């Protein structure tokens, strides 16, 4: 099904959103939120076997961490940008709104629901951060000041199988991303480190997680060393309506296990019933 593509941005903001809206009324709306490393194009990996825009209106938010800001980047600023994009795109009260987020993007999705800044019906989260327990596992970006070190060490950590990074498609994705940020490497480092330090303002408590209303799918890599599986178990025990899907991957299941992740997103988004809460949530 053909979709009309458009790019949305607001004056004074570096955040943008690619919009693919179909002509058919009543389609679900899926909004993709990326992590600290990478951009909205990482979600293009999910176009195989089925592009999200073929069964839903698809929106890809890009925070452009490489762009210079007038003030140190804060979580509060990105929350405001995200709410504006959702409002101008699918709408904050779209009857079938799904937020799909990886890592930082998953944290953002949980925050928006927990504090009623948006009203998604579904959350599809790939190893989200956001809790105090998840933050204690990290600290990677705080420990480095060299942009090459931040990127190299990060990419080393997110894939469980080193051969994944040698995949031609993933190599091209990483090269394209680095070409984009290379001329703006100082601003990128400043923004990512500033945001990493400011994350304490957005930490979600276990009670906050219990406030999340959306039907939630947690997708987690059994070999994730950035946000380990025990964080998944903790989140799943607090979320009201949750299903867990384990993948044989590291931190970036949507990249490392793209086809499996694509099917999970489509199946969950198009499901008509509510998923029952799972009680056995250990990684095996």
Please state, in angstroms and rounded to a whole number, the distance separating the CA atoms of residues 221 and 31: 22
Please state, in angstroms and rounded to a whole number, the distance separating the CA atoms of residues 273 and 268: 10
50 phi/psi in degrees, rounded to 5: -145, 120
Which is nearest to 33 in space by CA: 111, 95, 96?
Answer: 111
Which is nearest to 106 in space by CA: 228, 237, 216?
Answer: 216
Q: What's the CATH code, domain 3-270?
A: 3.40.50.1820
Compute CA distances 96 → 111, 123, 150, whole Å: 18, 11, 37
Q: Which two tokens stand for residue 39?
A: 């951009």
DSSP E strands in the chain: the ranges are 3-9, 16-22, 29-33, 57-62, 97-102, 122-126, 215-221, 242-247
Please state, in angstroms and rounded to a whole number, the distance separating the CA atoms of residues 262 and 271: 14
Q: What integer pLDDT is reported at residue 276 of this predicted model?
A: 35
Look up tokens 């906050």; give the residue.
208
Q: Which two tokens stand for residue 222?
A: 């059994």
Please state, in angstroms and rounded to a whole number, the distance separating the CA atoms of residues 48 and 45: 7
Please say whether the beta carbons of 223 and 249 come within 8 A: yes
Q: What integer pLDDT is reported at residue 136 of this predicted model?
A: 59
| DSSP codes of every residue in 181-248 | HGGGHHHHHHHHHHHHHHGGGGPBPHHHHHT--SEEEEEEETT-SSS-HHHHHHHHHH-SSEEEEEES
Q: What integer pLDDT is reported at residue 143 of this predicted model?
A: 46
Please state, in angstroms and rounded to a whole number, the distance separating the CA atoms of residues 268 and 284: 22
Please state, in angstroms and rounded to a whole number, the distance separating the CA atoms of residues 66 and 11: 17
Q: What does the DSSP 8-state code read for residue 204?
A: B
Look up tokens 């004074």; give the residue.
12
Give me the tens of pLDDT residue by residue for the chain, a chain 284 residues long.
Answer: 556 689 999 998 999 999 999 988 889 999 999 998 889 999 999 999 999 999 999 999 999 999 999 889 999 999 999 999 999 999 999 999 999 999 999 999 999 999 999 999 999 999 998 887 666 555 444 444 555 655 665 666 788 777 777 788 888 888 898 899 889 988 988 898 888 888 777 889 999 999 999 999 999 999 998 899 999 999 999 999 999 999 999 999 999 999 999 999 999 999 854 433 333 333 33
Burial of 235 (0-12, 13-18, 19+ CB in 10 A): buried
Question: What residues have CB less than 8 Å from 10, skipping those under 6 apart?
Answer: 81, 84, 88
- Coil, helix or strand at residue 270: helix
Torsion angle (degrees, nearest 10) of CA 173, 174, 175, 178 = 120
Please state, in angstroms and rounded to a whole number, the distance separating the CA atoms of residues 121 and 105: 17
């Amino acid at each position: 099904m053909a979709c009309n593509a458009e790019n949305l941005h607001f004056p004074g903001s570096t955040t943008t959103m690619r919009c693919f809206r179909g002509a058919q009324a009543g389609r679900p709306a899926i909004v993709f939120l990326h992590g600290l490393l990478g951009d909205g194009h990482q979600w293009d990996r999910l176009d195989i076997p089925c592009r999200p825009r073929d069964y839903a209106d698809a929106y890809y938010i890009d925070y452009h961490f490489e762009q210079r800001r007038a003030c140190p980047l804060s979580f509060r600023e990105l929350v405001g940008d995200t709410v504006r994009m959702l409002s101008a795109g699918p709408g904050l009260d779209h009857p079938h709104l799904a937020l799909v987020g990886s890592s930082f993007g998953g944290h953002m999705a949980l925050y928006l629901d927990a504090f009623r800044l948006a009203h998604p019906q579904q959350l599809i989260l790939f190893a989200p951060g956001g809790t105090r327990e998840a933050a204690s596992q990290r600290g990677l970006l705080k420990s480095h000041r060299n942009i090459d070190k931040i990127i190299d060490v990060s990419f080393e950590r997110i894939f469980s199988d080193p051969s994944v990074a040698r995949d031609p498609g993933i190599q091209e994705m990483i090269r394209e991303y680095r070409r984009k940020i290379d001329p703006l490497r100082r601003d990128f480092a400043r923004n990512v480190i500033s945001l990493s330090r400011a994350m304490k303002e957005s930490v979600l408590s276990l009670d906050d997680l219990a406030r999340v209303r959306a039907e939630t799918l947690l997708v987690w890599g059994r070999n994730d060393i950035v946000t380990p599986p025990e964080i998944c178990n903790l989140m799943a025990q607090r979320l009201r309506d949750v299903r867990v899907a384990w993948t044989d991957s590291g931190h970036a299941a949507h990249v490392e296990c793209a086809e499996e992740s694509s099917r999970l997103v489509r199946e969950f988004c198009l499901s008509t019933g509510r998923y029952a809460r799972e009680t056995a949530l250990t990684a095996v």
